[in-house]
Amino acid sequence: MVLNLDGSKPIYVQLAEWLENEILNGHFDSGQKIYSQYQLAEIFNINPATAAKGLNILAEENVLYKKRGLGMFVSDEAKSIILTKRRTQTLTGLVEELAAEARRLDVSKEELIEMIKGAMTGGTEE
């Protein structure tokens, strides 16, 4: 993954989201040590303080926990925390934007639901 250094989303937020994706995709399991701020800084060519800020976001959300002198580790509840957050914040926001755009384009609720069903099944009928 490449971080969008020119984007509107702060780099540390992008880094936190990347780590969340890595956890959701099974690249980091609960109890597993993750990259240090210095390793992340080297991987993404960013300042270690920026990497630390991304790690600290996840620690504050209890996705990661610190073991003094050993580093950061994935919590047992990490996947559940990330899924809940994304469902309640990210997905809800996207659905609200989608519904607003559908209203602007005069797309009926039924039409929109069918579009979503199609997208959820990859464009094939169930």
Task: Grade residue 3 by pLDDT with cuts at 50, 70 and 90.
Answer: confident
pLDDT tens string 14-71: 999 999 999 999 999 999 999 999 999 999 999 999 999 999 999 999 999 999 999 9
60-64: long-range contacts, CB 8 A cutoff, minimum separation 24: 61/85, 63/19, 63/20, 63/23, 64/19, 64/34
Task: Grade residue 8 by pLDDT with cuts at 50, 70 and 90.
Answer: confident
Burial class (CB in 10 A: 0-12, 13-18, 19+), 14: buried
As a CATH number, domain 11-76 is 1.10.10.10
pLDDT tens string 58-107: 999 999 999 999 999 999 999 999 999 998 888 888 999 999 999 999 99
